[in-house]
Amino acid sequence: MAQDRIHVKNLLLRAIIGLNDWEREKRQDVLINLTLFTDMRAAGRSDDAADILNYRSITKAVIEYVENSQHYLVEALATEIARICVVDHDAARVIVQVEKPGALRFAESVGVEIERARADFE
């Protein structure tokens, strides 16, 4: 399996996320980081955009999904983001970090990190 990686760092979006009533009414900040695994050898040889994993289209799909989502759990949001990356956009594997800044008193952020491949969605 390819070990080449593309990093999308600190994508700050707003979503309905959380268990409390007030969290269901107002969008909150969510911070997303992606590590997309792909084989970059063909793109490295060809210098042709047709040979890349298009991280721009992945990021646009993630933004659209997150901003229109309404999950109770960050785990569920992270799972759907992973599905977008590997099923809809053919990343070999992805690590997804989803954080809720300010969700815990005295903590800058709280979040989850998951790793998924296509087989996890079959």
List of domains in the chain: 4-121 (3.30.1130.10)
For residue 98, what pLDDT is reported? 98
Residue among 2, 67, 72 at smallest CA distance from 32: 67
**Rounded to whole angstroms, how far apart are CA atoms 81 and 59?**
10
> Residues 79, 81, 82, 88: is their CA dihedral positive or negative?
positive
Could you give the dihedral angle defined by the CA atoms of residues 35, 26, 22 and 79, in that order, rounded to the nearest 10 degrees?
-20
For residue 103, what pLDDT is reported? 86
Residue type, 105: R
- Alpha helices per DSSP H over the chain: 41-46, 55-67, 74-83
pTM of the model: 0.94
Predicted confidence pLDDT, tens digits, the chain (122 residues): 558 999 999 999 999 999 988 899 999 999 999 999 999 999 999 999 999 999 999 999 999 999 999 999 999 999 999 999 999 999 999 999 999 998 888 999 999 999 999 999 98
For residue 104, what pLDDT is reported? 87
The residue to which tokens 């969510």 are assigned: 30
